Structures are given as structure tokens and as C-alpha cells.
């Protein structure tokens, strides 16, 4: 009976993975659409508070699709690929578009290079190791990095608003500190993943 139950659960899991458009994947896709709207708002300029609210909403709903997928057995292969991809599009895209107003946003070219370079390298490294059968799941530093990047981008967007509150010197100082901390944690996270990968390679050679 237990064997039959296990077999049924396995078949249901495989069946759910073959489903393409379910609720979690639809939420993920909607986040991608929101990201495109966000980039237009940044490029057009003048709607900074709206852009900040939209960014916070798109970024904060990241946990929702994953939670629903795991809780209701809706995990799919597409979802596993699409969710982290959309996360990177939202954050890296925001940094890239903010570079267009670098003189006011606090975002510099070297910051964008570090953020995008880290994501590209670690994603490639993860793909390579997982093809080798290695467990290269996300570390706590990666989650902290994502959170700090989102907070820094939010402050950067708000600092572009002409509203007096967001032009206060203390707010701009907080923005700059958050950007620097986010970049430092991004570097730390990248190095941690590299050390983990090196450890996995050494163990596999043994």
C-alpha cells in the first residue's frame, strides 16, 4: 500500500511538472510584465514614486509564486527556470535603467557591472555544477543580497522624486549607504558561491 501511495505521488509530481501555465507560473509571468512597465516608467522619468511602489510590489511577490507552487504541488520545470530569471530581470534591469540617471540616482556604472556580472557568473556556475549532479542551492547570503539590492533600488528610485522629503540630506545618505552595502554583500555572496563550488569540485575529485 505504501509503495502504491509513493508511486501515485511520484506520478502526480511528474504530471504537475509537465503543466506549463498554472497559478504560480502566471504570477511569475505577471511579475515580468510589471518589470517591463517599471523600466518604461524609469526611462520616461517623472513617475518615481509610482515606479518605486511598482518595484516593491514586483519584488515582494517573489515569495508568493514559490510558496503556492510548493504548498499545492504546482512545481514545474518552467517555474524553476522562469522564477529566478524574472528575479534577475527585475533587479538587474532596475540597476541598468537607473544608470541612465546616474548623476541623481546614486547608481554608478561599476555598481551595475558588479551586480550583472555576479548574476551571470553564478548562474553559469550553478548550471554547470547541477549538470554534474552537484547540489548548488541558494545560500543565505544570496537571499540577503537580493533583499538589500531591492531596498537600495527602492531608495534610489524615491531619491529621484522632487518631493522635499526624499531630497533631505539624511535620505540621500541612507540611499548611498544602502547602495554600497548592497554591492559589498553582492561581492561577498559571489565569493561565497565560488568557495562552495571549489569545495564541491575538490570533493568530487576525491
CATH tag for 2-205 (out of 3.40.50.10420, 3.40.50.720, 1.20.120.1760, 1.10.10.10): 1.20.120.1760
What's the mean pLDDT when you consider all of the chain?
86
The rounded distance, in Å, linking the Cα atoms of 164 and 167 is: 5
| All structural domains of the chain with their residue ranges | 2-205
The predicted-structure confidence for 34-54, as pLDDT tens digits, reads as follows 999 999 999 999 899 999 999
Do residues 181 and 189 touch, judged by C-beta distance below 8 A? no
The predicted-structure confidence for 122-175, as pLDDT tens digits, reads as follows 988 888 887 877 777 778 888 899 999 999 999 999 999 999 999 999 999 999
What angle is formed at CA 34 by the lines to CA 31 and CA 39, rounded to 5 degrees?
130
Do residues 61 and 90 touch, judged by C-beta distance below 8 A? no
Q: Is the pLDDT reported for residue 178 higher than 60?
A: yes
| DSSP string computed for 110-152 | HHHHHHHHHHHHHHHHHHHHHHTT---PPPHHHHHHHHHHHHH
The predicted-structure confidence for 100-134, as pLDDT tens digits, reads as follows 887 789 999 999 999 999 999 998 888 888 787 77
Q: Name the residue among 84, 35, 29 with its Cα closest to residue 57.
A: 35
Query: How many of the other CB atoms lie within 10 Å of CB of 90?
Result: 25
How far are the Cα atoms of 134, 195, 201 from residue 198, in angstroms, in the given order?
A: 12, 5, 5
Q: What integer pLDDT is reported at residue 206 of this predicted model?
A: 58
The predicted-structure confidence for 5-20, as pLDDT tens digits, reads as follows 555 445 454 444 455 6
At 156, list the grid cell: 534610489
Contact residues for 144 (Cβ-Cβ < 8 A; gap 6+):
185, 189
The rounded distance, in Å, linking the Cα atoms of 127 and 137 is: 11
Q: Name the residue among 200, 88, 101, 198 with its Cα closest to residue 142.
A: 88
Amino acid at each position: 500500500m505504501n509503495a502504491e501511495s509513493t508511486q501515485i505521488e511520484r506520478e502526480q509530481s511528474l504530471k504537475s511538472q509537465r503543466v506549463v501555465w498554472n497559478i504560480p507560473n502566471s504570477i511569475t509571468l505577471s511579475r515580468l510584465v510589471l518589470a517591463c512597465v517599471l523600466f518604461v516608467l524609469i526611462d520616461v522619468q517623472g513617475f518615481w514614486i509610482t515606479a518605486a511602489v511598482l518595484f516593491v510590489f514586483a519584488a515582494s511577490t517573489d515569495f508568493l509564486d514559490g510558496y503556492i507552487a510548493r504548498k499545492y504541488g504546482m512545481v514545474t520545470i518552467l517555474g524553476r527556470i522562469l522564477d529566478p530569471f524574472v528575479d534577475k530581470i527585475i533587479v538587474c534591469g532596475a540597476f541598468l535603467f537607473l544608470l541612465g540617471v546616474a548623476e541623481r540616482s546614486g547608481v554608478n556604472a561599476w555598481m551595475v557591472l558588479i551586480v550583472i556580472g555576479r548574476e551571470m557568473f553564478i548562474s553559469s556556475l550553478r548550471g554547470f555544477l547541477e549538470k554534474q549532479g552537484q547540489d548548488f542551492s541558494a545560500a543565505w547570503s544570496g537571499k540577503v543580497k537580493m533583499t538589500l539590492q531591492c531596498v537600495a533600488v527602492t531608495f534610489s528610485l524615491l531619491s529621484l522624486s522632487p518631493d522635499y522629503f526624499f531630497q533631505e540630506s539624511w535620505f540621500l545618505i541612507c540611499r548611498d549607504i544602502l547602495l554600497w552595502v548592497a554591492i559589498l554583500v553582492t561581492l561577498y555572496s559571489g565569493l561565497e558561491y565560488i568557495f562552495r563550488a571549489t569545495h564541491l569540485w575538490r570533493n568530487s575529485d576525491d
